[in-house]
Amino acid sequence: MPGVGKLLKEAQKMQKKMEALQEELSKKEIEVTSGGGAVKIIITAQSEFKSLKIDPEFLEEDAEFVEETLLTAIQEAAEKAKAVNDEAMSEVSSGMSFPGLM
């Protein structure tokens, strides 16, 4: 089967591209703020949380409000990181087609 060798080379190229992209995404930082800037989260596109900063005055607010705001900020950061990651990965994998497999 002469096509198998070509298919393996294409798969290896794609794997190398994905590894390079994952390295790039692990360095790409996304900043999310919530509560009018009272909460600031930095997360990588690989969903690694890098920092969480909270305005000290914000902590004087009602505990339930603080908790809701923090949770919202964390959820938004995770969603944004996933969206950036998914978009980048789909760009890399969109060029690959394996006849008979997909």
Express each pLDDT in 7-39 by its tens digit. Answer: 888 888 888 888 898 899 999 999 999 999 999
Structure tokens at 63: 């505990």
Express each pLDDT in 73-99 by its tens digit. Answer: 999 999 999 999 999 888 877 765 555
Q: What is the DSSP string of 17-74?
A: HHHHHHHHHHH-EEEEEETTTTEEEEEETTS-EEEEEE-GGGGGS-HHHHHHHHHHHH
> What is the sign, positive or negative, of the torsion defined by CA atoms of 15, 90, 2, 99?
positive
* CATH 3.30.1310.10 corresponds to the domain 28-94: yes
Q: What is the pTM of this model?
A: 0.77
Three-class DSSP category at 78: helix
Sequence spans of domains, the chain? 28-94
